[in-house]
Amino acid sequence: MQDHNLLLLAAVIGFLAGFASTLFRWMIAFFESIFSGTGLTSLSIPEGLHPYLLPFMPMFGGAAIGGICHLFPNAVKENGVHRVMHAVALQGGKIRKHTMLTCSLTSALTIGSGGSAGREGPTVQIGSAVGSSLGQLLHLSTERVQVLVGCGAAAGIAASFNAPIAGVLFALEIILGDFTLHTFSPIIIASVIGTATGRALEGNEITFLVPVHELVSHTEIAFYLILGLCCGLAARAFTKTYFAINHYFKTKLNVPKIAKPALGGLLVGLLSIFFPQILGNGYEAMEQAFTGQMLWTVALALIFLKMFATSVTLGSGGLGGVFAPSLFIGAMLGAVFGTGVHWIFPNLSASPETYAVVGMGAVAGAVMQAPLTNILMLFELTNDYTLILPVMVACIVSAYTYRGFSKHSIYVQYLLNDGINIKHGREVTILNSIRVQDVMSKHVTTIPEEMPFRKILETISYSKNFYFPVIDRQGNMTSILSFNDIREMIFEEGLEDLVLANDLATRDVYTLKPENNINDAMELFARLDVEQLPVVRSEDAGKVIGMVNRGDVIAAYNREVLVAGFER
C-alpha cells in the first residue's frame, strides 16, 4: 500500500474514532443521569431518600459490571491502555472488534455510576479497536495495522480532550514507541480529523476553564523544582497503592469474583458521603482548585482519598483509566504546596491555583512516564501557554524522581506483573532470546585502506550492503565506509585515483558480537540511526565475520511474535 493510501485510511480512522470517542462521552453522561438524583426521581423515589441512596450508586454500577464480566468473561479482559500496548507488541496490532462495545459499556457504567476512574484509557482502547478493525478488514500487513492502531488511539484522545498535539504524542510515546516519519504522518492526520469530528459534535470547548496564570518571579522556578519532586513521590505512592490494592482484590480477598466490583463501589460510595469530590473523573473538584474555591485541608485529604478510591474502583474490577485520577491528585497536591509556598513567600510566589495547574500535569507525566505528552496536553487542556516554563520543569523533575524508584510507567508495570516486558513497542523477552549470530549475514564486503576511489566504486557495485568495513594489511577493521560517504564523492572529478578509502571512512565504529542479542542490536540501530552494523569475533574485535541488518532483525522478531501468538 502506498503512503498516500495510508494517509487516506488515517483520515477515515480519525473520523470514526473521533465519533466513537464522542459517543462514549455521551454514554458516560447518560449513565450519570441514571445514577443520580434525576434517575431516582424518574423511579418515583421521594427526594427525601435521595441522600441515603446516592452513596450506593457506585455499588449498583459495580454490581452491573460484575454481572457483565461473569456472563461474558472474555469480553472485557482486553480493556486498558496496557492491553493496547500488548496488542501492538505481540499480536501485530490485532484487537477484537467487540472490544469497542464491551469497553465503552463497562467503562461508561463505572464512571457514570460514580466509580473513581478516567475516560482516557477506554477512549484509547475504543479508538485503537477502530484502527485495528479497519486494518484487519483490508488485510493489511502487521506494520500497517500497528500504525492504524496508533491512529485510532491518537484520534480518540484528540477528540475526547480537544487536544490534537497530545493525541499524536500519546500514540507515539506510549502506544507505539516509534517516532519515525512513516508513523508520524498518518497519526497527525488521524488526530486532526478526530479533533475536527469532536468539535463538530460537541463544540470547540476547553476541558478546564482556568484563570490566566504567570510567573511572579524568575526565582519562583526553584519552587516548581520542589513541586516536581513532590509530584514524583506522589505518583510513585499512587502506583504502589494501585498495584497493592489490585493484588489484594485478585488474590487475597475471599469474595466471589462477581461481587468484587460491587464491594469496591460500596467502599467508594461510603467515602463519598464525606468527600463527594472523589466520585467519577473529578473534573469539577479540579476546577474548584484552579479557581481557589477549595480549602487546602480538603485538598490534602483528597490526595490520599483519590489514590485509594481509584485503586479500589479499578482493583475490584471496575473499568476505566488512571489519567484523570492522576490529574486530580496532581491538582490537589499543587494546591496544597502552593498554599504553603504562598504563605511563606507571598511576594515571590504565584497563587495556590497556579501551582494546582502545574501539579496536575506533573503527577500524570510521572505516572505515565510521558512528560512530553503531558507538557503539551496541559497546554491544550487549559489553553494557557504562560505557564509553559514551570510546567516543563515540574513535569521533567517529577518523571525523573519517579524513575528513581521505578523505570516503568503504570502501563508497563501492569504488563510486567503479567510477565510481559515491552520496550519501544516490542517485547524485550523475545528480543533477548534471539542472538545476533542467528540473523547476521556472513557476506561481508571489505575494502582495504589503500584502495583508490575508482576501485571502491567497482567493488561496491557488486555488493548488496550499504556499509563496508575498511581493513588494514593484517585484515583488521580500522574504520567503516558507508554508501552515503561514497555518494558524496561520486560527482567530484579527478579524484578517482587521489582519494583512498582511508580518507573517506569513519573512524568511530560500533560493532556487535555473535553472542549479543537483537535487543542490543535494536538499541544501537536506534541510537546511531543506521541500517547495518558489523559483527566481529568474540575473541578478536578487529576481525569482521558478518553484517546484521535492521530489517533482518525486525523480521526475526516478527517471526518469533507470530510463533508466540500461535502457542498462546
Q: Are residues 266 and 371 in the same domain?
A: yes
> Using one digit for the tens of pLDDT, what is the confidence trace for 267-309?
999 999 999 999 998 989 999 998 889 999 999 999 999 999 9
- Domain membership flag for residue 213: no
- Domain membership flag for residue 113: yes
Alpha-carbon gap, residue 196 to 199, rounded angstroms? 5
pLDDT at 421: 66
Q: Are residues 60 and 163 in the same domain?
A: yes
Residue 566 pLDDT class (50, 70, 90 cuts): very low
Please compute the mean of the pLDDT values over residues 84-101 and round it to a whole number.
80
423 has a pLDDT exceeding 60: yes
> Using one digit for the tens of pLDDT, what is the confidence trace for 407-416?
888 988 887 8
Please compute the mean of the pLDDT values over residues 236-264 and round it to a whole number.
93
Please compute the mean of the pLDDT values over residues 486-496 and round it to a whole number.
66
Residue 134 pLDDT class (50, 70, 90 cuts): very high
> Using one digit for the tens of pLDDT, what is the confidence trace for 346-386?
888 888 998 999 999 999 999 998 888 888 888 887 777 77
Q: Are residues 197 and 235 in the same domain?
A: no
Q: Are residues 183 and 233 in the same domain?
A: no
- Domain membership flag for residue 209: no
Q: Are residues 37 and 155 in the same domain?
A: yes
Assigned C-alpha cell, 384: 494557557
- Domain membership flag for residue 207: no
Residue 28 pLDDT class (50, 70, 90 cuts): very high
pLDDT at 568: 46
CATH code of the domain containing 251: 1.10.3080.10
Assigned C-alpha cell, 157: 484522545
Q: Are residues 301 and 316 in the same domain?
A: yes
The whole domain housing 289 covers 218-424
Name the residue with higher pLDDT: 92 or 511.
511
Q: Are residues 11 and 150 in the same domain?
A: yes
Q: Are residues 560 and 416 in the same domain?
A: no
Q: How many domains does the chain have?
A: 3
The answer to whether 337 and 359 are in contact (CB under 8 A) is yes
- Domain membership flag for residue 211: no
The answer to whether 394 and 358 are in contact (CB under 8 A) is yes
3-class secondary-structure state, position 327? helix
> Using one digit for the tens of pLDDT, what is the confidence trace for 173-230?
888 876 666 778 899 999 999 999 999 988 877 777 676 667 777 788 999 999 999 9
Residue finishing a domain among 202, 228, 258: 202
373 burial type by CB count under 10 A (0-12 exposed, 13-18 middle, 19+ buried): buried
Q: For 493-535, give the secondary structure using H, E and C.
A: CCCCCCCEHHHHCECCCCCECCCCEHHHHHHHHHHHCCCEEEE
Q: Are residues 431 and 419 in the same domain?
A: no
- Domain membership flag for residue 277: yes
Q: Are residues 405 and 432 in the same domain?
A: no
- Domain membership flag for residue 398: yes
Q: Which of 428, 413, 399 is nearest to 523 (CA)?
A: 428
Q: Are residues 131 and 58 in the same domain?
A: yes
Residue 77 pLDDT class (50, 70, 90 cuts): low
Residue finishing a domain among 404, 424, 444: 424
339 has a pLDDT exceeding 70: yes
Please compute the mean of the pLDDT values over residues 72-92 and round it to a whole number.
74
- Domain membership flag for residue 145: yes
Torsion-angle region of residue 80: left (phi > 0), alpha (psi -120 to 50) or beta?
A: left
